[in-house]
Chain A
Amino acid sequence: MQHKDINEDIRWAQINKDVLRSMENPRKAYWISVGICLALLSLAVIAEIYQYNVGLGPTNLNWPHMWGLYIATFIFWIGMSHSGTLLSAILHIIHADWRKPIYRFAEAMTTFTLMTAGLFPIIHLGRVWNMYWVLPYYSDRGIWPNFRSPLVWDAFAISTYLTSSALFLFIGMIPDLAICRDNTRGWKKKLYTVLSLGWRGDDRQWRNFRKTYLIMACFLIPLAVSVHSIVSSDFAMSIMPGWHVTTFPPYFVAGALYSGCAGIITLFILLRYFFRFEQYMTLPILEKTCKLTFAIAMVWTYLNLIEYSSVWYGHDTVAKELLIDKFTGPYSPYFWAMNILGSVLPFTLAFEKLRRHIPTMFAVSILLNVGMWLERWMIVSPTLAMSYEPFTHTVMWASWVQWFIVIGSFGWFGLLFLVFVKIFPSVSMYEVKEMIFHRRHLANKDIAAVMHRRSSDPQPSEGH
């Protein structure tokens, strides 16, 4: 059984070769995946064109159920985006170097999930053509958006997060793009020449690069936390039972990291299989990701139970009724499914045997995300179904229009990701080299002593 995170004897030329190989000559499976994604996306496009022309009626959204799957899926995708930041920024500043082979695609996932998520608030608008009114631009009419509204905060938060994570992804890629530039021909070479920003790899460039990367990481962490807190305030700022919950910001952030980590496991397994990245995306790294997911799942479960118990022991009768209705009412199958998938299923991650069994982990990671999607839906819909006014208690089941757009969003994300992996290196070459270098030389005490100049750095004798 493999115990080391990465094979330390691997040659650097081999790393370049393996990663660059993944970007060449798409195979049949790739084109099939592209086809599937395009098909899913076209479903969404058809539904959106229909909805745009007719109005929101065909979605089955109705009078108490003004929001539905769109907002639920919006939160789901925003949540998915958070783990990229976790891997690339948080683990970067705490020097967890096992992140290095897998953070690149996670960061790409962040960017693309945000690009998917950002579409949903736009799609769900009644008058899409006026969506720019949410932004504070100088208008001849002299009116501004309502800065008190969490939806305006959303617009700020998401666009900021999208810009910064795309920048972070790009900055982290510059040395790799230079490698690509030196190893490709034709239009690709031109593209990488522009994108690598004249990277030569000299000392000054590396110094500036490290500094920028660190600053971006430090900037991105509070940003990521605030983004999902703001998304949660769409609900927490309202007055409705089941939404008006003080613990929503941490609950949403935990849920976000949770579904994001599950998403990373899914993509990890897919990339490992299709691109034969067994050398880099190794089982010990998968295991570490699984452990991380398990820890976050437990945090999420804890916060979830806190939410139930604070309602249960509170004095808000309507909220209590709503909670009982969640457990027993028309939405109860989905509610129970969410709890089982979200809180019980992660215990499979606690067993080493299962963690190392790739097909199981693939299925589990997808099921965890199904659970997390259900969680978002169970936040949005039951409250709308069962709020203060008993006259308005109704249940809404989404129509094909909503489902097509929700399904199509997966196609859109998949398409973006597929394009990414063929144009950009999905494993960070220079950081894998760094990781191997460090690991190799940590064994050699003389070199390690030179490398670790600061006294606070861990000495080679400790740990590892």
Chain B
Amino acid sequence: MSLQNILQDWSKYRKGNEEGGFHDYEHLWGLAIDLNKCIGCNACSVACYAENNLAVVGKDKFAKHQEMHWLRVERYWDEPDLGEQAVSDYQSHGASFLPMMCQQCMAATCEPVCPVAATYHTPDGLNAQVYNRCIGSRYCSNNCPYRLRYFNFYSYYEDSWPAPLNMQLNPDLTVRDKGVMEKCTFCVQRIRAAKDVAKHEHRELQDGEFTTACAQTCPTQAIVFGDLLSLHTAGKAESTLSTLWRDQQVELGRTEQHKQNPDKRGYRVLEGLNTDPKVMYLERVREV
């Protein structure tokens, strides 16, 4: 972060939020996840491991919670005292799943606390994590209410990708070494590649031109990836995602959604904390 960033851009980002406009952003990448469609198969998580060079830490370290799954499918069981037939209810309803990836908050709590500015907000509205700048103070992870930042407690490359598995590593992003914080980037390497192609062809980026690994893999197509810029900036091309957000009457920059139609299922996790996440979940509807 240069002094210029601190003096000008910081206030710019802050003001952008207060004025309700994101006019300085080039894109606002976001997600929508339909929990009705989610079957908890973890394919998204596997895809994420493959795409983003995530280290497989092994059973021991996983049991010690030293894993790094950028996309985790959280599993919640219903309270067993649902009714008289508690046991059968418990089984027929099964678990609820909540795929959690970095929420790419617009007012991210991880950003201001990083001592070396290794995490910052990009003009794409993403929370960037610059691995080579990270010194591993781990403050960002402590200050993330979603706990979506993971730390390299060891150097994994020899254990995780013994030859010839190292050949499957994605060359478009770093293999992180010990002592570095990492997190979901919304597959920034794909964003970068798509932008490069578009720029080469002298055109704007098209909606649906590319997608994240999780959205691409989801067998039930529960995950939709896209640009939210048209939600808040007039004159921008409407994307599938912003149509979905608009339809669910979920807006950015709010701590509480005022929906005209309360049946709409869209919500954002912990939005009351004013982190302004860019991932919308569609509540699961169940028969009781």
* Minimum CB distance partner of A239 in chain B: B109
CB of B113, distance to nearest CB on chain A (Å) = 5
Beta-carbon contact of A144 and B117 below 8 Å: yes
Q: Which residues of A contact B239 (CB under 8 A)?
A: none
Which of B116, B136, B142, B147 has the most chain A CB atoms inside 10 A of its CB? B142
Beta-carbon contact of A61 and B153 below 8 Å: yes
Given contacts A62-B66, A63-B66, contact A149 B2 (CB under 8 A): no
CB of A59, distance to nearest CB on chain B (Å) = 8
Q: Which residues of B contact A143 (CB under 8 A)?
A: 1-2, 117, 133
0/1 interface trace, chain A 103-134, chain B, CB 8 Å (1 if under) = 00000000000000000010011111011011
Beta-carbon contact of A57 and B153 below 8 Å: yes
The number of chain A residues touching the other chain, given as a range, is: 35 or more
* Minimum CB distance partner of B73 in chain A: A391
Give Cα A63–Cα B134 distance, bound, in whole angstroms: 17
* Option from A62, A125, A234 in Cβ contact (under 8 Å) with B65: A62
The number of chain B residues touching the other chain, given as a range, is: 35 or more
User: A residues 50-68 with Cβ under 8 Å of B?
Assistant: 54-57, 60-67
* Option from A124, A147, A392 in Cβ contact (under 8 Å) with B147: A392
Beta-carbon contact of B133 and A133 below 8 Å: yes
Given contacts A54-B154, A146-B112, contact A126 B137 (CB under 8 A): yes
Give Cα A277–Cα B151 distance, bound, in whole angstroms: 52
A-B contacts counted at CB < 8 A amount to 155
* Minimum CB distance partner of A64 in chain B: B147
Beta-carbon contact of A151 and B136 below 8 Å: no
CB of A118, distance to nearest CB on chain B (Å) = 14
Give Cα A234–Cα B179 distance, bound, in whole angstroms: 20
A155 in the interface (beta carbon within 8 A): yes
Q: Which residues of A contact B178 (CB under 8 A)?
A: 54-57, 126-127
0/1 interface trace, chain B 1-21, chain A, CB 8 Å (1 if under) = 111001000100000000000
B200 in the interface (beta carbon within 8 A): no
Beta-carbon contact of B153 and A238 below 8 Å: no
0/1 interface trace, chain B 75-101, chain A, CB 8 Å (1 if under) = 110000000000000000000001010
User: A residues 337-388 with Cβ under 8 Å of B?
Assistant: 384, 387-388
Q: Which residues of A contact B275 (CB under 8 A)?
A: 239
Beta-carbon contact of B74 and A149 below 8 Å: no
Beta-carbon contact of A125 and B66 below 8 Å: no
* Option from B6, B112, B113, B154 in Cβ contact (under 8 Å) with A57: B154
Beta-carbon contact of B179 and A127 below 8 Å: yes
* Minimum CB distance partner of A147 in chain B: B6
A164 in the interface (beta carbon within 8 A): no
* Minimum CB distance partner of A388 in chain B: B145
Beta-carbon contact of B113 and A149 below 8 Å: yes
A150 in the interface (beta carbon within 8 A): yes
CB of B138, distance to nearest CB on chain A (Å) = 4
CB of A379, distance to nearest CB on chain B (Å) = 12
A240 in the interface (beta carbon within 8 A): yes
Beta-carbon contact of A151 and B115 below 8 Å: yes
* Option from B6, B116, B179 in Cβ contact (under 8 Å) with A55: B179
Q: Which residues of B contact A134 (CB under 8 A)?
A: 115-116, 135
CB of A248, distance to nearest CB on chain B (Å) = 15
Beta-carbon contact of A144 and B2 below 8 Å: yes
Q: Which residues of A contact B270 (CB under 8 A)?
A: 388
B236 in the interface (beta carbon within 8 A): no
0/1 interface trace, chain B 236-275, chain A, CB 8 Å (1 if under) = 0000000000000000000000000000000000100101
Give Cα A57–Cα B136 distance, bound, in whole angstroms: 13
Beta-carbon contact of B147 and A127 below 8 Å: no
Q: Which residues of B contact A149 (CB under 8 A)?
A: 112-115, 117, 139
A216 in the interface (beta carbon within 8 A): no
* Minimum CB distance partner of B270 in chain A: A388
Q: Which residues of A contact B147 (CB under 8 A)?
A: 63-64, 387-389, 391-392
Beta-carbon contact of A145 and B154 below 8 Å: no
Q: Which residues of A contact B152 (CB under 8 A)?
A: 55, 126
Given contacts A55-B178, A143-B1, A143-B2, contact A240 B143 (CB under 8 A): yes
Beta-carbon contact of B179 and A60 below 8 Å: no
Q: Which residues of A contact B3 (CB under 8 A)?
A: 144
A193 in the interface (beta carbon within 8 A): no
Given contacts A127-B134, A143-B117, A392-B147, contact A238 B142 (CB under 8 A): yes
CB of A400, distance to nearest CB on chain B (Å) = 14
Beta-carbon contact of A63 and B151 below 8 Å: yes
User: B residues 8-62 with Cβ under 8 Å of A?
Assistant: 10, 61
CB of A73, distance to nearest CB on chain B (Å) = 16
B210 in the interface (beta carbon within 8 A): no
A186 in the interface (beta carbon within 8 A): no
A142 in the interface (beta carbon within 8 A): yes
* Minimum CB distance partner of A63 in chain B: B65
B150 in the interface (beta carbon within 8 A): yes
Beta-carbon contact of B117 and A66 below 8 Å: no
Beta-carbon contact of B117 and A146 below 8 Å: yes
Q: 8 more A-B contacts (CB under 8 A) besides A55-B179, A144-B117?
A: A121-B137, A125-B137, A126-B134, A126-B138, A143-B133, A144-B6, A147-B6, A389-B145
A-B contact pairs, 22 of them (CB 8 A): A54-B154, A56-B178, A57-B153, A57-B154, A60-B64, A62-B65, A65-B65, A124-B137, A125-B135, A126-B134, A126-B151, A143-B1, A146-B115, A149-B115, A238-B109, A240-B143, A387-B147, A388-B146, A389-B100, A389-B145, A390-B76, A392-B147
Please give me the 8 A-B residue pairs with the lowest Cβ-Cβ distance, nearest first: A126-B136, A126-B179, A55-B178, A57-B153, A62-B65, A66-B138, A146-B117, A151-B115
